[in-house]
Structure 1
Amino acid sequence: MTETKSAATMRVWDPLVRVFHWGLVAAFATAWLTADEVQPVHEVAGYTVAGLVAFRLIWGFAGSRYARFAKFVKGPTATLAYLGWMLRGQERRYLGHNPAGAAMIVALMLTLSGTAFTGWLMAEPERVAMLPALPQIVAPAWADDDGAEYGEGREVEGPLKEVHETLANLMLLLVAAHVGGVVLASIRHRENLARAMITGDKRAPEPGDIA
């Protein structure tokens, strides 16, 4: 349920959504900056990312109105239509996530899940053996032969690491597109969306807006 803050603003993002958002920003940035440099910190950041994504999946069904997937996730037709309106500068303002933003959220969460999962597999070679379909496709090869495990000075090479790094690089592209979308929507609809994700408040719906 939303809470009216004043005649001009409205509470949209609940505290847990905001903590999730900025916590994910911090955790992914930490994981990226410590990759191949400070492995223990990198792994903790990766597990934090995985935990935050798991929480968001739960909160997408049990959370407040604008946090729920049913409220903002649209099908391909609605998403493509919204993108067309954006290209023409005719898109309507959504109080919650717009269809393009929703598609980006899904893409980010899928990519983060894949990045965290491949990182988890890399941490212990025995984990790949637990997945019968994976060894033939992304079986990890070990660069050294000294018996050390990943995270203890041994670097994982091979297809699994390539998949992990490709997903991490894809995340950077998605983040750049996400930031660009936030800036564009902020300009088009005359509101600071980044600040709204800090305060939780957005401008109250006006005629033509979708609440």
Structure 2
Amino acid sequence: MFATTRPDVPERAPGAAAATPPTPGRRVTDAPTRAFHWLFALSFVGAYLTADGERWRLVHVVLGYTMAGLLGWRVLYGLVGPRHVRLAALARKLAAAPGWARATLQALRTGDWNALAGAGRQGQNLALAGVIAALLLAVPPLVASGVATFHDWGGEWLEEVHEFFGNGMLALVLAHLGLLAALSVWRRQNLARPMLTGRTPGRGPDLVTRNHGALALLLVLAVLAYWAWEWSNAPTRTAPGGTATSGWTLAAPGASAKGRHHDDEDEDD
């Protein structure tokens, strides 16, 4: 017998596997959502780390305002943005909680393990959605109590209220991270990857058809522009030793924290 070869197909070495182009996976998260996520996370971590003491007080305030602005943008994006980022989708997930509870109880009573397994996965998704909703809802009272504390509108009890919401926010963040880590191990899939690359492994159509990279860039530039504006309008104080300092790390001994941080009031030595 004679071996036949096609002249237009290159021969492959014996035992070599057929080369297949790597698949990037499906796009499930767009760029503006990822930009919001990381800017929001950075602002909270920075605000929490600068919560104590006067030296970084203005950094804490600016990052708090940044969180409020980012939340406002996310609400607007969730109202008029693409279908996959709509707040209505999050609300629909949470609205399914009563039905999930009834189905879970029914599966436990009847011993239907297949139904129980499906309910378990839905419960995991509900837990993730619930923590995300709680994080968003925690921002308004956190920022409002912080503004009231900064302007000294209610005395020391407001500081305790602000600290309570700050610690509550931290607990929600840790719960979010712990849940992601546990489910990633359970499902053997990195659930944090979509917030880094926007994609998840697997074949099939993209759940997000457009990445909207320009909108994400505008969001990042808007936050950076706000930070630059706050920096340029920060007052100048006199540090120990008579050295003039400017920027956000400028609390002098005995300097009052009352009033908006970019007021141009003169201070006595």
Q: TM-score, normalised by structure 1?
A: 0.69
Aligned ranges 1:113-152 → 2 under 5 Å? 113-125=140-152, 128=153, 140-141=154-155
Aligned length: 170
Cα distance between partner residues in 1 of 2:58 and 2:103: 43
Q: Tell me if the contact between 1:66 and 1:72 (Cα under 8 Å) persists in the aligned partners.
A: no
Q: Would you say 1:48 and 2:29 are equivalent positions?
A: no
Q: Paired residue for 1:202? A: 200
Of 73, 77, 98 in structure 1, the residue corresponding to residue 98 of structure 2 is: 77
Q: Would you say 1:26 and 2:35 are equivalent positions?
A: no
Identity of aligned residues (%): 36
Does 1 or 2 have the higher relative contact order (CA < 8 Å, sep 6+)?
A: 2
Cα distance between partner residues in 1 of 2:45 and 2:179: 19
Q: Tell me if the contact between 2:25 and 2:201 (Cα under 8 Å) persists in the aligned partners.
A: yes
Cα distance between partner residues in 2 of 1:65 and 1:203: 22
Q: Tell me if the contact between 2:24 and 2:199 (Cα under 8 Å) persists in the aligned partners.
A: no
Q: Paired residue for 1:59? A: 77
Q: Secondary structure at the match of 1:35?
A: coil
Deviation at residue 66 of structure 1 after TM alignment: 2.5
Over 6 Å off, 4+ runs: 81-85
Q: Paired residue for 2:214? A: none
Q: Paired residue for 2:227? A: none
- Does the C-alpha gap of structure 1 residues 30 and 83 become closer, same or farther in structure 2, counting only changes over 3 Å? farther
Cα distance between partner residues in 2 of 1:70 and 1:101: 16
Q: Tell me if the contact between 1:93 and 1:189 (Cα under 8 Å) persists in the aligned partners.
A: no
Q: TM-score, normalised by structure 2?
A: 0.55
Q: Paired residue for 2:26? A: 10
Q: Paired residue for 1:182? A: 180
Deviation at residue 199 of structure 1 after TM alignment: 0.5
Larger Rg: 2
Q: CA RMSD in A?
A: 3.1
Structure 1: 5+ residue stretches without partners: 1-5, 129-139, 142-156
